[in-house]
Amino acid sequence: MKKLLYELEHCSTDEQRQKIEEMNELMEEMGKEEFKSVFTKEWFKRINQMIEDKILSWENAILLLKHVGYCQTLKCFYDFAFKYSFLSDRFQEMIIEEKMMIEEKDEKLLVDLCECYLLLNRWPSSEMSSIIAPCILKVALKKEENEETQKEVEMALLALSNFRSINVLKELFINEIKEVIQYHQKHHNLTQLAYQSAWEFFLNRSHFDHSLEHVIVNEVHFEREAIRELEELAKWMNWKKKEEEMSKEEANEVNIIKRWLHALGIFFRLFRLWKEEFAELIGSVAHVCRAARENNKEISNWCICSFRDATENGNVRVDSLLKGRAIDVVLEEIHRQTLNKNIEYHSLDFFFSISRRAKEKKKDEMEEVKRKAAKRKVFEKLEEEGYEDTITSFHELFNFFSTQFYYQLSLNIFDYFIYV
């Protein structure tokens, strides 16, 4: 990759485009650690210098940089190298300059700059957010169903899904993102990645504005859509293949599943409008976890994490975790000989939270009866499945976990049992 970057400096504009296409293909094959080792602050500094010296055109720079951000965002990881580079400052200046132009404004260039910037920096300032959000949403609202428009809309929504900043006022997006989601629900005009990205953007906003919960749950019906999308993706996945054996299309589907699981983690952890039927949503995650466990440990771990997130939300009932078979799946995972440390930790964390939640007495008499019934069922299931033996086998790891990962993990083994 570094060799190709050096070669860019000695190519014509057309030759540069060809080299960049080669670089973009190589990026898609990279793992997270390799990606971070290549695209460092120094790498972005070199790109910035090439733009300043007019060695690299803005058009070609955006073609390269947008794909860096695309791969990062699709693969669900983030690096701060661009955010703290001079290139980030140059992008901000260009976006503001292009936005302020009245005559000869290049709308496509402005969109490209905004998408590229947001894919690489998920925490823009208030000033940048007020420019970027309306600009990209305008593209996301396109309704034409031809392939070119679908790609434009997908890229716009993927960029928006990367938005983590608090600096996005509800007035800048609420009607538009609802329209995108509701139009797709009627006409199915979005790709799977675009639709997931629309939800990711919406759910990320709920971190800062809990009033969005009513819209997400009761107006656009997140749980129903998430169940359907997960089931559709899981149905067509070839789970017998290891990730490195998958085609590009199959690998992208795996990435979309990971992104749904990340979105579900937000939903399980934060949302207070919990309903009984959400147990079916937990059941969909349980199904994915079982399907992925042989050849995709990362997806299995994400599933366990989403269950753990659910236990930390006091509005998620323990009996929903029982009905959704979350407890069964976690028990199955920790009994496996190929269990890895991440799943060990998150499984123990899950049981710790289950134990704590089951002991929380309710003031309402009927709710207290339900709590005791759920608590009894959990205890019976854990006892039946050899929970005592499993926890005993983890005893030597408790000290490591409690000091390295999660200080609340107790060294007293009996804290992990549930008594009626």
Taking residues 245-270, report their average pLDDT. Answer: 90
**How sure is the predictor about 35, in pLDDT bands with cuts at 50, 70 and 90?**
very high
Residue type, 115: E
Domain range annotation of the chain: 1-123
pLDDT reported for residue 339: 65
- Is residue 111's pLDDT more than 90? yes
Q: Can you tell me the distance from the alpha carbon of 109 to that of 93, in angstroms, rounded to the nearest whole number?
A: 13
Going from the C-alpha of 282 to that of each of 134, 185, 254, 322, 384, the distances in angstroms are 34, 22, 19, 9, 22
Q: Which of 158-167, 344-353, 400-409 has the lowest mean pLDDT?
A: 400-409
Of residues 161 and 359, more confidence is placed in: 161
Query: How high is the pLDDT of residue 103?
Result: 67
If you average pLDDT over residues 4-14, what whole number do you get?
Answer: 86
pLDDT at 274 over 50: yes
pLDDT at 115 over 80: yes
Distance CA 404, CA 67 (A): 35
Interaxial angle between packed helices 41-52 and 86-100, expressed in degrees from 0 to 180 and rounded to the nearest 10: 50
Query: What's the pLDDT tens digit per position in 163-205?
Result: 988 878 888 899 999 999 999 999 999 999 999 999 999 999 9
DSSP string, 34-63: HHHHHS-HHHHHHHHHHHHTTSS-HHHHHH
Q: Please tell me the distance from the alpha carbon of residue 320 to that of residue 323, in angstroms, as a whole number.
A: 5
**How far is Cα 345 from Cα 333, in angstroms, rounded to an integer?**
12
What is the DSSP track for 306-341?
A: HHHHHHHSTTS-HHHHHHTTHHHHHHHHHT-TT--H
The percentage of residues in the chain with a pLDDT greater than 90, rounded to a whole number, is: 54
Q: What is the pLDDT of residue 53?
A: 94
* Mean model confidence pLDDT for the chain: 86
The answer to whether residue 405 scores a pLDDT higher than 80 is: no
On the question of pLDDT at 38 being above 60, the answer is yes
**Separation CA 372–CA 367 (nearest Å):** 9
**Is the pLDDT confidence value at 411 over 50?**
no
- Which letter does DSSP use for residue 141 in this model? T
